[in-house]
Structures are given as C-alpha cells and as structure tokens.
Chains A and B, each alone.
Chain A
C-alpha cells in the first residue's frame, strides 16, 4: 500500500550494525552544540564540542499494530474509490507511543477529512480541534497543524498532521467537514499565522483585533520585565539561563 521512501530495497543483513550509515547522520543539520547552556569558556566539562544532529524524521511501515492497520486500509480504499492514491494524500505514517499520525499533504487535507468522517469503516465523528506547532528549523515545513480525530462508532483515535512553509502559510480549512473547527482555526491563525483557506471568517479570537504578530510562534518573544527581589534583579523567564 505505502511505498518506502525512495523505494529502496529492504536492507541487507549487516551484522547487527545500525541501519543508517555514519555519513548520513553527519549530513543532517546540527540542532544543538555543547551542554549545560554555556556558550563561553565557562564549560570545562569537555562537552563543549558536542554536536547533536537532527534525528531523521520518523516513519513507520505497516503493519502498524492494533486498529491502526484497519484505519489505514479503510482510508486507502476510500481514497482509491475517489481516485486518489494513498501516497498522493499521505506523505508518511508514524506510529509512536501508541498513537498513529498521518502526515497529510495539505492539498488533499479536505478530501482525507471528508473520507474520515463519512466512510462507514472510518466514521471519525469528532474532531477535537487543531493545534499549531512552529518548527522554525524545519525548512519549508515550518508551520504544522495537528488535528486529533475521535470515532465514537469504532472507539478509535488518530492524528492528522499537515505542514506548510512559512513563506506560504496556507492550509485548507476543515470547517466544511467539521464545522466546530471554526474557532480552533481562528485560534491557530491568531497564534501561529496559519491561514486556513476557505474559513468563513478568519479573524483573531484571543488577541485583540489590532494585534501585530502571532504570539505563539517561536520567533515571537515571551516578553516580560525584570523584577527586583531583595536587592537583586530577576530577569524575565525568556532571558534566564536555559539548559536546552
């Protein structure tokens, strides 16, 4: 049903060594250097040259286990009936910590959601809204919209994840399929600047109408002022030492 990325043949038996080669790992971008949050000579631990590279994106292959396979199969055949290939609509599937995530291409989001709601074998009646996540380092996929769906008929849960680049922050609105996503999409627009195309009235919902910027993006500062306490200044939380 799904194709492995790049269509590689199954890995040969390599004597129990890690499947990913060192060069591949080294070509990934560096996400963190050093430890303990110090950037100056303060770190004498020897960990100052440590480079932590970005892990490869997770991707799971079937069988996914539990009811996940039934959902993927039913979704695949429902999409097939509408003339959409599974991999045309779903970039990849991730099963992690007992939850399944379908990474949906944004062009096909509405069709996928429509099938998920209306197909008798799927019947995800409840969409619990959308949660935005901003990954500034994830080039061309900076903005993510995450939907959690619940099927009361089959007692199942799945997650849909859609991404859009910062340069073109458009994701189709699901209000036509799940009307109650209305406020959630307004909230995600308000906080992350994701434009939900087709939303009936995409206006700010939590921040004042004339607010500038989208506060929950990572490039938006937390703000705050230093507080004096017993003769010393305590800086605002985003300026305190971080151990990331």
Chain B
C-alpha cells in the first residue's frame, strides 16, 4: 500500500503510517478534499482516532474506530490518560488518609469510593458490628444522595452529547442542589473524605435535616421536569432505542453489573441480594426493564433516582426520630475513631475549637493520643478483605490487604467503569458511527475511576 500524505501531516505521520494519512485539525476540510483521493478503493477502511480530548468521551477516553463508510467495523478503547496512581499512593499513607485518596478515583461518586474502602477496612478490623447506627444511617443517606448526583451526572451530559443543552442544564440544576447538600454536610462538593473507618467524620450540621427535607419537597418535581423532557422525546428515543444492544447473555459473559444489567431485566442489586449498611430495613424497589439498549439504561437510572429519593426520605425520618443527647457517629473505640471532633467552620472542615482547647490546654495524655493517632494511625490485623457495594455504576469493590501495619499493604479498587469499558466493542461494532456516542454515554463511565 502506498503512503501519500495530505497537507498538514508531519514527517512522523508519514513514517508511521500505512496508507494515507489525513491529519484534520479543523476548518481544513476543503484542503483535504482538494488534495484528492480519486483512486480510492471500493471498501476502504478509515481509522479514526477519537479522543483523548473529545467532548463526548466523558473525560480523557480515547477510541480508535475503524470505519467502513459510516459503519463501525472495529471499536477499541484506549485508557490510561488519567492514571494518577491512587492505589500506590495509598500504600504510603495511613488507613484513615486512604479515604482522602480513594474518594478521588471516580469523582462523580466519591462517597461510594469512601464507603467501600471503609467497609473493607472495618471488616479487616473486625468492627463491622460496632459501627454506631446513626453513622450507618448517615452513610446510607449520603450514598443515596450520591447515587442521585451520579446518575444526573450521567443523564445530563448524555443529553448534551446528543445535542440537547436543555437536558444538560436541567440535570445539572438538580445535581447542583445535591452538591449544595454535600457542601453543607461535609464542607466540600466533591472529594469529601467524609466516611471514615469507624463511622463518619461528623454529624449533620444544625438545620441539615431541614435542608434535606426542603430538597426532598422540590426534587420530585425537578425529576418530573427532566422526565417530561426526555422520556418521550422523539429525538432522544431515535438516538437510544435499540442502540448499544447488550442482552443478559452478553452481560453475563462480560460480567457486567449495575444499571446495564438491570436494563436486561435481571433485578440484581446488591442492596437487596447481599445487603450492607442495613439496606434490608429500607423500603425501595429495583427498577428493571428488558430493552437491553441505551434507552433502557437511561430509564433504569432515572427510576433509581426516584427510588433513592424514597430512601433518603426514610433516612431523614429515622434521623429525626433519634433525639438522644449523645448519639455518636464514630465508633467508641478511641484507638480507631479519629480523635479530633471535626467541625465545619466558615473555611471548611477542621478540628473543632473545643478539641484543640482540650489537647492544648487541659490534658497532656489527650495530646499524646491525638499526636500518635494522627501521625502514626492505627494498626489493622493482617489479612485481606473484599467488600462489594452497589454503586451508581455497578458493583464497586475494594480489595484491601494488611500486613498488620498502620498503612494498607495493598488497596485495589474494582471500579465498574473500568470493567464496563470493555463492553464498548460489543456494543458499537457493526453499528453506525453516530451510535458510538450514546453507547459510551449509556455505560456512564468516569475516567477518574477507570484509570485511578
């Protein structure tokens, strides 16, 4: 095959390429056409490099698409552009500091990352039964709020990628309200490090429950608005119904979980089948549909938002019933519970002034314990644990190994986005180029979690 390079291509392209190279940088299409390719073969394939900087690849995902006309003959995903070494870094920090790292993996569902890590550490410590109930309720509350914001972070950009700005803005408006709640409760909109081994960093702030109730009063209407925009939208349906088909058999073969699996009709939800955090005591449904396509995955997600709102309501009811003066949110074991009673100041979360006054002015022993626990951390008995939870995107697991020290010997996050990106090929190949976009969006990948 001859190599002929069009204007704009570099020497390096010329050497590396087999066949013609078109280096299209934008606004130069006329030049490419003018360069002429009259001797083009009948079924010539074009390799298109999509990403890693492309607005509809959900971050820095790179797709290498082989096209025959407009049909995708081969779709290969290339990842690693956002690898930050979170797992390696965690091996050099204490178990408590681990939450501040792992929360940054999939940045659209930070609380799930924290929760799954803390549940694994708690299993290693053997303290699963000793976590205060109030902490467990607050964890469920935060996880379900996070499920809502994560799904909205999937649905909103889904619309944008299909060209619908309004869907994006409506989705982001609702998500913004959830993030406001996060900011109120944890001090941060993302990367919270709120869920800690042994409980949660702090109790809800004064007036927090009232704010969540306000949100619960308004949210159903906003979700309804979003549904009226999308559910029967002819353009959205044309772009998603029957697109990116992956049935139960395919999901099983590829070990796919989460909304993608539930869109094939299998009601597999770890909150129901292998309950954790007391999910068996909450009332909610597992929405399923059997369309196996991008539309079905959207439908499952938007229904899960409504179910999550139900769970958040139950959490708020339970929290408002608990009026005891001393209702801890951290394990009573002083060796594990973070010594500082964290509190929320105008500049974010930090040690409470009373705690500082106590250790600096009143008790030398308290200061020593504080110093040892903050600098050295606590020891975790040797062994390994794997705790899976039902995250917004599928089964999220954390495999932690301890050698008995104060730092994780190994912490591995089994991220559903990483796993599900493998389904890109089976969903896209044989379809049209334009359907690649809804296929990727229906996986709802977040590259922070894929690459870690």
Residue ranges of A at the interface with B (Cβ–Cβ < 8 Å): 55, 58, 96-99, 101, 125-129, 131-134, 146, 148, 150, 152, 155, 157, 159, 178-180, 182-184, 187, 191, 204-208, 215-216, 222, 237-238, 242-244
A208's contact among B80, B126, B397, by CB below 8 Å, is which?
B80
| 5 CB < 8 A contacts A-B | A126-B252, A184-B419, A243-B375, A243-B405, A244-B407
Q: Is the CB of B383 within 8 A of A183?
A: no
Residue of A with least CB distance to B395: A128
Known: A133-B409, A133-B410. A146 touches B384 (CB 8 A): yes
Residue of A with least CB distance to B407: A244
Known: A128-B255, A243-B376. A148 touches B85 (CB 8 A): no
B291 at interface by CB-CB < 8 Å? no
B252's contact among A55, A99, A125, A187, by CB below 8 Å, is which?
A125
Residue of A with least CB distance to B94: A243
> Bound state CA distance, A120 and B10, in angstroms?
58
CB contacts (< 8 Å) of B274 on chain A: these are: 155, 157
| B residues 52-95 touching A (CB-CB < 8 Å) | 79-80, 83, 85, 87-89, 91-93
Known: A97-B124, A237-B89, A243-B406. A152 touches B268 (CB 8 A): yes
CB contacts (< 8 Å) of B385 on chain A: these are: 97, 99
CB contacts (< 8 Å) of B397 on chain A: these are: 128, 148
Chain B nearest Cβ from A49, distance in angstroms: 19
CB contacts (< 8 Å) of A99 on chain B: these are: 384-386
B123 at interface by CB-CB < 8 Å? yes
CB contacts (< 8 Å) of A187 on chain B: these are: 418
> Bound state CA distance, A184 and B414, in angstroms?
9
Chain A nearest Cβ from B197, distance in angstroms: 15
In the complex, per-residue mask of B367-409: 1 if CB is within 8 Å of any chain A CB, else 0: 0000000011100001111101000000101010100011101
B144 at interface by CB-CB < 8 Å? no
CB contacts (< 8 Å) of A97 on chain B: these are: 123-124, 126, 383, 385
CB contacts (< 8 Å) of B137 on chain A: these are: none
Chain A nearest Cβ from B105, distance in angstroms: 13
> Bound state CA distance, A222 and B85, in angstroms?
9
Q: Which 9 A/B pairs are nearest by Cβ-Cβ distance?
A: A131-B412, A237-B92, A206-B83, A206-B80, A180-B254, A180-B255, A243-B376, A126-B255, A131-B399
CB contacts (< 8 Å) of A205 on chain B: these are: 79-80
CB contacts (< 8 Å) of B382 on chain A: these are: 55
> Bound state CA distance, A191 and B419, in angstroms?
17
CB contacts (< 8 Å) of B399 on chain A: these are: 131, 146, 148
B451 at interface by CB-CB < 8 Å? yes
In the complex, per-residue mask of B407-444: 1 if CB is within 8 Å of any chain A CB, else 0: 10110101000110110000000000000000000000
Q: Is the CB of A222 within 8 A of B92?
A: yes
Chain A nearest Cβ from B205, distance in angstroms: 31
CB contacts (< 8 Å) of A96 on chain B: these are: 383-384
Residue of A with least CB distance to B420: A180
Known: A179-B253, A180-B253, A206-B451. A129 touches B414 (CB 8 A): yes
A215's contact among B88, B266, B388, by CB below 8 Å, is which?
B88
CB contacts (< 8 Å) of A131 on chain B: these are: 399, 410, 412, 414
Chain A nearest Cβ from B365, distance in angstroms: 17
> Bound state CA distance, A141 and B356, in angstroms?
48
B6 at interface by CB-CB < 8 Å? no
Q: Is the CB of A133 within 8 A of B401?
A: yes
Chain A nearest Cβ from B378, distance in angstroms: 11
Residue of B with least CB distance to A149: B255
| Most chain A C-beta atoms within 10 Å of own C-beta, residue among B124, B254, B256, B266 | B254
Known: A128-B397, A207-B80. A222 touches B88 (CB 8 A): yes
Chain B nearest Cβ from A127, distance in angstroms: 6
| B residues 123-161 touching A (CB-CB < 8 Å) | 123-124, 126
> Bound state CA distance, A222 and B92, in angstroms?
8
Q: Is the CB of B80 within 8 A of A128?
A: no
Chain B nearest Cβ from A154, distance in angstroms: 11
Given contacts A98-B123, A237-B93, 9 further A-B contacts (CB under 8 A): A55-B382, A127-B255, A131-B410, A148-B388, A157-B274, A178-B255, A180-B256, A222-B89, A243-B406
> Bound state CA distance, A155 and B123, in angstroms?
20
B326 at interface by CB-CB < 8 Å? no
B419's contact among A129, A146, A150, A237, by CB below 8 Å, is which?
A129
